[in-house]
Amino acid sequence: MRLQFFLCVTALLVCPGLILGSRIAKRFAIGCTEKCDKSQCAPILADCLAGDVLDHCDCCPVCVSGEGELCGGAGDRECAEGMECVVTEGVEVSVTVRRRGKPGVCVCTVSDPVCGSDGVSYRNICELKRVSNRAMKLQQPPVIFIQRGTCGKGQQNPDSLRFKYNFIADVVEKIAPAVVHIELYRKMMFSKREVAVASGSGFIVSEDGLIVTNAHVVANKHRIKVELKSGAKYDAKIKDVDEKADIALIQIDVPVSKER
């Protein structure tokens, strides 16, 4: 009985240390640093329309694959939210498939057509999100999900959300001037010359030039330039950053009330 008690106590003392040690070893085995340094993160490319997630080290944002793009193989990206990685035979990618490096493609988990605020019918919600992301990067109004089913069907149905709440399209048109384009610059190490390294979008939230954007967009950049809908360009300064929520507040030097 005493021997069993001794073995149980020993297991309780040793196992947590082994588990912690294995986690640390695994982190170093996959090439992660002991502490996340976001200044070393590469900027998200402007053509990343499917969105981004944190990398395997839970540190840097990386672009994900969109519908029909490769996934599951060695070095391939993860699928965007609302999608799953499926191999050619129609089987969802498993751990075994990943180890063999067999690639698959990202497929939307919902195949039903949907109607957007732009009056266009989309094959599924994933296609709508991709078009909406592209629109925002071009400083255009985002496409908002209105209803399941095609737009023509909804407009004929008095009970549909689009029939009742078609004002959403009007709201989108009104907020379009509040969408701004953001260019990020960084100085070269030796020449001190500024080069554009990333771009993004944001929304004007106050008359005194406050703009909301993503924190990872403006992180570790030497200069931020904002272009308004009118085409006017201004330098901006970072006012506040919440890295956990991935939200940043920047402000341009000139009030935008007249520029809108």
The reply to whether domains 38-108 and 177-252 share a CATH topology is no
φ and ψ at 221, to 5 degrees?
-110, 140
How far apart are the C-alpha atoms of 82 and 129, rounded to whole Å? 10
Share of the chain above pLDDT 70, in %: 69
Q: How far apart are CA 258 and CA 260, in angstroms?
A: 6
Q: What is the pTM of this model?
A: 0.47
pLDDT per position as a tens digit, 116-169: 888 889 999 999 988 988 888 787 778 888 788 888 754 555 665 555 555 555
Q: How many angstroms separate the Cα of 158 from the Cα of each of 78, 117, 154, 173?
A: 40, 17, 8, 24
Tell which residue, 202, 222, 101, 189, has the closest CA to residue 142: 202
Place of tokens 């997630």: 53
Residues 198-244 pLDDT 10s: 888 888 888 788 899 888 888 877 789 998 877 888 999 999 988 88
Is the pLDDT confidence value at 26 over 70? no
Domain ranges of the chain: 38-108, 114-165, 177-252
| Cα atoms in the Cβ-side hemisphere of radius 13 Å centred on 252 | 28
Which architecture does CATH list for 38-108? Irregular (4.10)
- Using the predicted structure, report yes or no on whether residue 92 has a pLDDT greater than 70: no
Third-level CATH fold of 177-252: Thrombin, subunit H (2.40.10)
